[in-house]
Amino acid sequence: ETGVTQTPRHLVMGMTNKKSLKCEQHLGHNAMYWYKQSAKKPLELMFVYSLEERVENNSVPSRFSPECPNSSHLFLHLHTLQPEDSALYLCASSQDSQGPNEKLFFGSGTQLSVL
């Protein structure tokens, strides 16, 4: 079983749909992240949850709504998206130990296409 699992792998949705992306980590970590990866652009940090509390929200539009019900699960609820929201959405986790070299463990991402 991989450390960080994301579902679905691919998602196509219309601009009026509501969908959710799911992330689950099996590493016992206590911090989880959503990143957006668009073509030819650096990864953009969207949200960070540490100990199930949202600690970072990088000016993300309200049509993206994160949820972290426990330290192992993270969701990204999507509604009324725009075509420019099409991207690879990556989930990651880490151990919030304040170690400077603590690395992120990523899932394989959800490739989202908004029509």
Partner 1 sequence: AQKITQTQPGMFVQEKEAVTLDCTYDTSDQSYGLFWYKQPSSGEMIFLIYQGSYDEQNATEGRYSLNFQKARKSANLVISASQLGDSAMYFCAMREGLITGFQKLVFGTGTRLLVSP
State the residues that interact with partner 1 by CB under 8 A.
31, 33, 40-43, 45, 48, 50, 55-56, 88, 90, 92, 94, 96-98, 100-109, 111
Longest dimension (CA), the chain: 42
Mapped onto helix, strand or coil, the DSSP state of residue 83 is: helix
- Minimal distance in Å, beta carbon 96 to partner 1? 4
Q: Are 37 and 43 in contact (CB under 8 A)?
A: yes
- Minimal distance in Å, beta carbon 25 to partner 1? 13
**43 vs 79, which CB is nearer to partner 1?**
43
**78 vs 92, which CB is nearer to partner 1?**
92
**80 vs 108, which CB is nearer to partner 1?**
108
Question: What's the rounded Cα separation, in Å, for the pair 31 and 97?
Answer: 10
Output phi, psi for 99, to 5 deg: -75, 130
